[in-house]
Amino acid sequence: MRSLSVGLLGFGLAGSVFHAPLILSEPRLRLKAVASSRIDDIRRAAPEAKATTAESVIADPGIDLVVIATPNTSHAPLAREALLAGKHVVIDKPMATTAAEAGELIDLAKRQGRLLTVFQNRRWDNDFLTLRACLEKGEIGRPYHYEAHFDRFRPQIKQGWREQTLAGSGVLFDLGAHLIDQALTLFGMPDRILADVGAQRPDAQVDDWFHIVLGYGPMRAILHCGTVVCRPGPRFQLHGDRGSFLKHGMDGQEAALRAGRMPTGVDWGRDEPENHALLVQADGTERRVETLRGDYPAFYRGVAAAILDGAPPPVTAEQARDVLTVLEAVRKAAGLPA
């Protein structure tokens, strides 16, 4: 079986919790090296991978694919170096800090003849997959109101670059990139945008709250994030002329990965029974909808298939650039500096 050697840049939250386990679970990928100073953590999580530097990973002729899971400000520079070195590249979302940077990377990847894709894992959340299936089956009818929340209870400021005044920091670029990607996956690019973005917690240096309204003709897509929400409401709502879809509870794949569970087995991605979706028909009847299985491993299956088999990438670089285009428009609509 043909396989690809992978070098992972960064072993913080994104690298250690998401990318390393998902890479290790894909039979056609071999995690050869990790660029991080967290040597003991790397030995425990990926004993066959060597701890090294980003420069060594990019320069290694034996590495086929470079995965970038570093702070957002370094995404574009590292991706540029890796593409110039002839590597295929995966970038953790967001792809860059500006749409212009993303466009430059897309052009470079085409010139180099290499895959460039972006880790938008929440396309494979169990609740989003279920909502999308209900919409595509026509069970909602024509949609008029879509609402997606990413609410958390984190009243204390955590240490780390995401809470510092850097390009691409704050919840808009962190969680907003997920919600925007999901909306664009369902409905495409909006024709207008309204937005409010701000910081609510004392001593917050960057945004920790946003409310975005994307317009699609008569339909509205509302994307919301709060950081001081002790009891969140519905995670998803979709209302149409045939019915409504409502879903509480978060997909459990991130929690499982944080707990050290490998993304394998027949139970992976199954939702908690109490987190079922509710489909309400126009005549008032209600039907419980069992959520589909979440499938984060699908991303790296798709990466392997795209490189080795010529299949379409799991996320196109152009789609990831569209997310940045909307993020920039949201900042403008909210009156924030470019």
Q: 281 in a domain, yes or no?
A: yes
| Same domain (yes/no): 174, 285 | yes
| Same domain (yes/no): 165, 190 | yes
| Same domain (yes/no): 147, 108 | no
pLDDT score recorded for residue 163: 74
pLDDT score recorded for residue 169: 78
pLDDT score recorded for residue 36: 96
Q: 321 in a domain, yes or no?
A: no
| Same domain (yes/no): 117, 142 | no
For the record, the structure tokens of 72 come out as 């957002």
CATH number at residue 291: 3.30.360.10
Q: 320 in a domain, yes or no?
A: no
| Same domain (yes/no): 173, 58 | no
Q: List the chain pLDDT tens, one digit each, 338 residues.
A: 799 999 999 999 999 999 999 999 999 999 999 999 999 999 999 999 999 999 999 999 999 999 999 999 999 999 999 999 999 999 999 999 999 999 999 999 999 999 999 999 999 999 999 999 999 999 999 999 999 999 999 988 888 777 777 777 799 999 999 999 999 999 999 999 999 999 999 988 898 999 999 999 999 999 999 999 999 999 999 999 999 999 999 999 999 999 999 998 888 999 887 788 999 988 889 999 989 999 999 999 999 999 999 999 999 999 999 999 999 999 999 999 87
pLDDT score recorded for residue 258: 95
Domain hosting residue 279, numbered range: 123-295+326-334
The position carrying tokens 């002329």 is: 241
| Same domain (yes/no): 27, 48 | yes
Q: 286 in a domain, yes or no?
A: yes
Q: 317 in a domain, yes or no?
A: no
Q: 138 in a domain, yes or no?
A: yes
Half-sphere exposure of 186 (CA within 13 A, CB side): 32
| Same domain (yes/no): 176, 263 | yes
- Dihedral of the alpha carbons of 270, 273, 277, 282, in degrees to the nearest 10: 140
| Same domain (yes/no): 111, 127 | no
| Same domain (yes/no): 55, 138 | no
Counted residue by residue, the chain has a size of 338
For the record, the structure tokens of 61 come out as 């002729």
* Number of domains forming the structure of the chain: 2
What is the per-residue DSSP string for 136-198? HTTSS-SEEEEEEE---B--SPPSSGGGSSSTT-SHHHHTHHHHHHHHHHHH-S-SEEEEEEE
Give the C-alpha separation, 124 to 292, whole Å: 10
Q: 156 in a domain, yes or no?
A: yes
| Same domain (yes/no): 106, 243 | no
Q: 168 in a domain, yes or no?
A: yes
Quote the pTM value.
0.95
Residue 174 CB: number of other CB atoms within 10 A?
Answer: 19
pLDDT score recorded for residue 248: 94
Q: Report which DSSP code applies to 200.
A: -
| Same domain (yes/no): 31, 155 | no
